[in-house]
Amino acid sequence: MPVTLQQWDGLYAVAQLPPDAPFPDWINGPGMVTVTRADDELSVVCRQDRVPEDGVRADRGWRCLKLLGPFAFNETGIVLSVIRPLSENGIGIFVISTFNGDFLLVKAADLPAAGVLLAQAGHTVC
């Protein structure tokens, strides 16, 4: 199934806080934001310009692509069709799913190659 991916502006960071940390105020602002609490961490993804340089463990330099949906919960293989050509060619990814769809993060340096691989797989990046 061909998927259209919309490239979002800005660079993103994947940050890690202690599992009992409150949701930080710095997550608020434009762009995609997701916060996930697990038993061993509080994980935050947002625009990297909002993540403090000191005191926050973060992996920076990600670009955000939204898989344009929505997709039904019983539709299978959508994310796989997007990540397979990337992973098979050594491009690291970070995937986030929401109620209406999915987001794919790739390192900014890998974005040109990712765009070519996605197009070769029949997808469109706009």
Q: Find, among 16, 52, 56, the residue nearest to 36 by Cα.
A: 16
CA distances to 35, 49, 88 from 102, rounded to whole Å, are 14, 22, 20
Share above pLDDT 70 across residues of the chain, in percent, rounded to a whole number: 100
CA–CA distance, 103 with 46 (Å, rounded to integer): 12
The residues that bridge with 59 in the sheet, in sequence order, are 14
Q: What is the pLDDT of residues 4-29, one digit of tens each?
A: 999 999 999 999 999 999 999 999 99
Tell the CATH topology of 4-125.
VC0802-like (3.30.2130)
What single DSSP character describes residue 61?
E
pLDDT at 1 over 90: no
pTM as predicted: 0.93
* Alpha carbon distance, N-terminus to C-terminus of the chain: 17
CA distances to 4, 53, 55, 75, 80 from 120, rounded to whole Å, are 13, 37, 41, 22, 15
Query: Domain limits of the chain?
Result: 4-125
